[in-house]
Structure 1
Amino acid sequence: MPARDYYHETVCKALEKDGWQITHDPYRLKLTRRRNLYIDLGAEQLIAAEKDIQKIAIEVKSFRSASEMKDLEEAVGQFVLYERLLKRYEPDRKLYLAVSDDVQQSIFEEEAGQVLLEDQIIRLVTFNINQEAITRWIT
């Protein structure tokens, strides 16, 4: 089992407050008999108007190392790999990168982060650490 991110529980609580049901903790992608990858969370939400279920997977990142750019490089690499595999094995589940409001402001409002969002390389969900609440969905 992989180690949990520093804000794992915060994101779980924030998603639940936002109406999501955590269905997988972690969400396992089984590749072969001996290989597995683990996305931090899987969640579902009933969309009442459409009578449908929206499925997501969340990769939580805290960006707490000495280099935010190194953290970004690793997060993007994971995101791209996980998204490609989800598209192949569970195409109706969308992947999001969960980051705090502070990280969103310090990284994703600068050029490198903006390119990733504008070119739709990643999708973000941002959360307020103190309120344990989702603040934005950026797709």
Structure 2
Amino acid sequence: MPAKDIYHNAVKNALIKDGWTITAHSYPIKYAEVKLFADMTGEKTLAVSRQKQQLV
């Protein structure tokens, strides 16, 4: 798992203030033989339509 950069907490706090729920830290992404890590994942429920938006 890679180290968090200096922007991690600022971005996380901004997303939370905007109504997002952080669902995972260090989300692994594997494509062919390449393995990457997204810094975090989150989701936000839209109250009007009950649909979820997801962010990686």
Structure 1 counterpart of 2:18? 18
Please give the alpha-carbon distance, in whole angstroms, between the structure 1 residues aligned to 2:49 and 2:28.
Answer: 28
TM (norm. structure 2) is: 0.84
Which contiguous aligned blocks of 4+ residues in structure 1 show a shift greater than 3 angstroms? none
Please give the alpha-carbon distance, in whole angstroms, between the structure 2 residues aligned to 1:24 and 1:37.
Answer: 15
Equivalent AA in structure 1 for residue 9 of structure 2: E
Equivalent AA in structure 2 for residue 42 of structure 1: T
- Deviation, 1:12, is 0.8
Superposition RMSD on alpha carbons, in Å?
A: 1.5
Please give the alpha-carbon distance, in whole angstroms, between the structure 2 residues aligned to 1:47 and 1:27.
Answer: 23
TM (norm. structure 1) is: 0.37
Q: Percent identity?
A: 39
- Deviation, 1:35, is 4.4
1:21-76 CA-partner distances (Å, limit 9, x unpaired): 001211211335x742101111100001111000011xxxxxxxxxxxxxxxxxxx
* Matched residue count: 56
**Please, which runs of 5 or more residues in structure 1 have no aligned partner?**
58-139
Structure that is richer in helix per residue? 1
Structure 1 counterpart of 2:8? 8
Larger radius of gyration: 1
**Please, which runs of 5 or more residues in structure 2 have no aligned partner?**
none
Higher relative contact order (CA 8 A, sep 6+): 2
